[in-house]
Chain A
Amino acid sequence: MKINLNVDVHHLTRIEGHGNIKIKVKDGEVTEARWDTVETPRFFEVMLKDKHYTSAGMLAARICGICSISHSLCSIRATENAFKVTIPETAAKLRLLAKHGETLQSHVLHVLFLAAPDFFNEPSVIPLIKKKPAVVAIAIRLKGLANRLCDAVAGRTTHPVAFQVGGVTLVPQKRHLLGFRDELKRSLDDLRIVADLISTIKLPDFVRETEFVSLRGEKEYPFIGGSLISSDGVNHAEQDYLPMTNEYVDKNNTSKWSKLSRESYAVGALARFNNNAQLLHPDAAEIAAALGLKPVCHNPFMNNVAQLVECFHVVHESIRLIDELVESGMGETMAQVTPKAGEGVGAVEAPRGILFHHYKYDKTGRILKANCVVPTTQNNANIHHDMKSLVKKFALTGEMTDEKLELLCSMLVRSYDPCLSCSVH
């Protein structure tokens, strides 16, 4: 039998930003299988030039509306490294608490609002309000909690206002933090219901070996700063990110592509898990085991599961941070900052993967040169190569239709939780 298939998705839905899928199978042969990002470039690296260090973080946050806390923290870290500023411990803890809020918010949004409709054959979460009211209620509750936590610690959940070079400018009240502590405890029950639900869903059985890049945790599962690691054994210091990311321009894409030891590599929850699973909170590790997630996992669809596992981890870690903050009291939250000429790199694990900001400053504290390497930029080539391999595996089985193939490839892209406007920036 001659298999002929044709998929042409112009602007894939339920992802952040604009990207296209194009697949052609002619007489049983894959003649085309592409994933391309066509988002309009905003030229953030250029816009950051001449900006004073006091507004760079605020501008950088606007690279992404969903992970603005990560961009803001990464930008500020780059500047602090350039100026050799060490921030007070309380400030570091509050930043990490907001970071956990963002991770929870972003993962819940992805797993339950953007990916879940595929699991129930619905176009969006809206029909699920009637079909699965209990799950949607949980999704809304978890997302609400995460957003309110970010509001309280970062001043606002989208485009935070409380992070400045040197520390934080907002100190949440103890009784507020304790209120969140109770809610976080309760949210673990909600997360368990979600885990039970996910355990009933059969994700596509697909494996393509790739390389995973992330921060390398020393004592803790990593989120802000530290050294870099790949699952193929490449290690670098934070400031030596360039030989790790190797960006290049592809003619069909406004997002750059990246590679390291192979034709592409992946970042994100699955990469963090694969490189740091031993550092997860025991409860999160137990959930991973129950859901069949083991390092090194090469099934990209399992990124959904890795995100859920991380939700457990960040909830437990947030509770721990609140306990520490309440016990130690707040104390100093801002360090003295003196701008100086020089360069600095910040690396942060954004929800969708490792993120780098790199600035070169003049002596007055204005940016001379900026470079940002964004999670989805690093994932785009990997998605593209996964798609090729996925089409080869499933399209030639004889039972494939255009519609089924479109859904399968769309689900593949969505598993990465791509943020395309971010990737192009």
Chain B
Amino acid sequence: MKYLGIEPVKPKIAIFDFTSCQGCELQLVNKEETLADFLNAVEIVRFREASSSYSDDYDIALIEGSVSRNDEVKRLEKIRKTAKVVVAFGSCACFGGVNQLKNAFDLKAANKEVYGNDPKETINVRPVKDIIAVDIEIPGCPVSKAEIESLICHVVWDSPFQPPVYPVCVECKQRFTTCLFEKGQMCLGPITRAGCNAPCPAGGQGCWGCRGPAVEPNYTSFFSVVKEKGFSDVELKERLNFFGAFQEVNVS
């Protein structure tokens, strides 16, 4: 893949999965129109889910999933020592994702409920950045492959990597989706960072904020709109907590 006659240096990428559903990894082999180009533009040296070849020599570590057992802490520390760039990809890696809903329950009781008298090792769920320094975060449940491609262009061609700062509502307008508040549903679109192309409102479901806050969201006015439309604090809190992405705000 030459550009202006120059063969770019292919970045060596390693993909690692921690506690997750592996849906983010799956996005790497989706978006079939550009899949062959994508696989050509990078050198994937490690991708356990898709390949048996294996190397510890890599520049970029893509990390999917959160941490929920002590061996995962050690694995992360080792990756940080090797990788030049650590990317947390997916809401699990960035915020704990749905996995962190477990933290609201007593771990011993949870273990008992699922495994009876043979408990399995587990700890409170934490995002990657709680354990090691993260250079780039790509949130989403799942991530958008387009954003990963733009990250790759950033490392290969040094083109700017600038995820949108505006909220999901902008993308609803671009798609001509009727606002869900007009249909009597709640939606976190006004405070959530765009970049997903708003598939949930288009599919009839309000946004649950998997991508985390947009830049400087106006929480106060959003919360008052939500209240005005008749939604309870419980409903709002449940939504904000779902992916663990809004821990910076308190609903009072």
Show the binding face of A for B, using Cβ within 8 Å.
11, 13-18, 40-43, 45-47, 49, 52, 55, 58-59, 62-66, 68, 109, 113-114, 117, 123-126, 129, 136, 140-141, 143-144, 147, 154-162, 164, 169-170, 249, 251, 254, 421-422
Binds A, one of B24-32, B153-161, B187-195, B211-219: B24-32
Q: Write out the residue numbers on chain B whose beta carbons fall within 8 Å of the beta carbon of A421.
A: 20-22
Chain A nearest CB from B103 CB (Å) reads 10
In the complex formed, the residue of A with least CB distance to B143 is A158
Asked if B199 is at the interface of the complex by the 8 Å CB criterion, the answer is yes
Q: Write out the residue numbers on chain B whose beta carbons fall within 8 Å of the beta carbon of A65.
A: 20-26, 142
In the complex formed, the residue of B with least CB distance to A256 is B115
The interface bits of chain B over 31-48 (1 if a CB of A lies within 8 angstroms of the residue's CB, else 0) are 011011001000010011
**Complex A-B: 6 CB contacts under 8 Å:** A13-B51, A43-B102, A68-B21, A114-B50, A124-B51, A156-B203
Q: Is A129 a contact of B39 with CB atoms below 8 Å? A: yes
Given contacts A14-B49, A159-B142, are A113 and B29 in contact (CB under 8 A)?
yes
Q: Is B21 a contact of A47 with CB atoms below 8 Å? A: no
Q: Is B22 a contact of A16 with CB atoms below 8 Å? A: yes
* A40 to B69 Cα, complex, angstroms: 7
Q: Write out the residue numbers on chain B whose beta carbons fall within 8 Å of the beta carbon of A40.
A: 18-19, 68-69, 72, 122
Q: Is B99 a contact of A42 with CB atoms below 8 Å? A: yes
Contacts of B49-96 to chain A: CB distance below 8 A: 49-54, 68-69, 72
Q: Write out the residue numbers on chain B whose beta carbons fall within 8 Å of the beta carbon of A169.
A: 203-205
Q: Write out the residue numbers on chain B whose beta carbons fall within 8 Å of the beta carbon of A161.
A: 199-200, 202-205
Q: Top 10 nearest A-B pairs by Cβ distance?
A: A65-B23, A155-B203, A169-B204, A124-B51, A144-B32, A161-B203, A123-B53, A123-B52, A65-B21, A46-B110
Chain B nearest CB from A192 CB (Å) reads 20
Asked if B226 is at the interface of the complex by the 8 Å CB criterion, the answer is no
Q: Is A170 a contact of B203 with CB atoms below 8 Å? A: yes
Which of A16, A55, A62, A249 gathers most chain B CB within 10 Å?
A62
Asked if B246 is at the interface of the complex by the 8 Å CB criterion, the answer is no
Q: Write out the residue numbers on chain B whose beta carbons fall within 8 Å of the beta carbon of A117.
A: 51-52
Given contacts A159-B23, A169-B205, are A14 and B51 in contact (CB under 8 A)?
yes
Q: Is A68 a contact of B101 with CB atoms below 8 Å? A: no
Q: Is A55 a contact of B49 with CB atoms below 8 Å? A: no
Q: Write out the residue numbers on chain A whose beta carbons fall within 8 Å of the beta carbon of B203.
A: 154-156, 160-162, 169-170
Chain A nearest CB from B68 CB (Å) reads 5
Q: Is B114 a contact of A11 with CB atoms below 8 Å? A: no
Given contacts A123-B53, A124-B47, A164-B204, are A157 and B30 in contact (CB under 8 A)?
yes
Q: Is B32 a contact of A140 with CB atoms below 8 Å? A: yes
Given contacts A65-B142, A123-B51, A164-B205, are A41 and B44 in contact (CB under 8 A)?
no
Partner of A42, one of B72, B102, B238, B242: B102
In the complex formed, the residue of A with least CB distance to B239 is A55
Asked if B120 is at the interface of the complex by the 8 Å CB criterion, the answer is yes
In the complex formed, the residue of B with least CB distance to A424 is B120
Given contacts A43-B114, A46-B105, A66-B23, are A147 and B30 in contact (CB under 8 A)?
yes
* A16 to B23 Cα, complex, angstroms: 10
Q: Is A126 a contact of B51 with CB atoms below 8 Å? A: yes
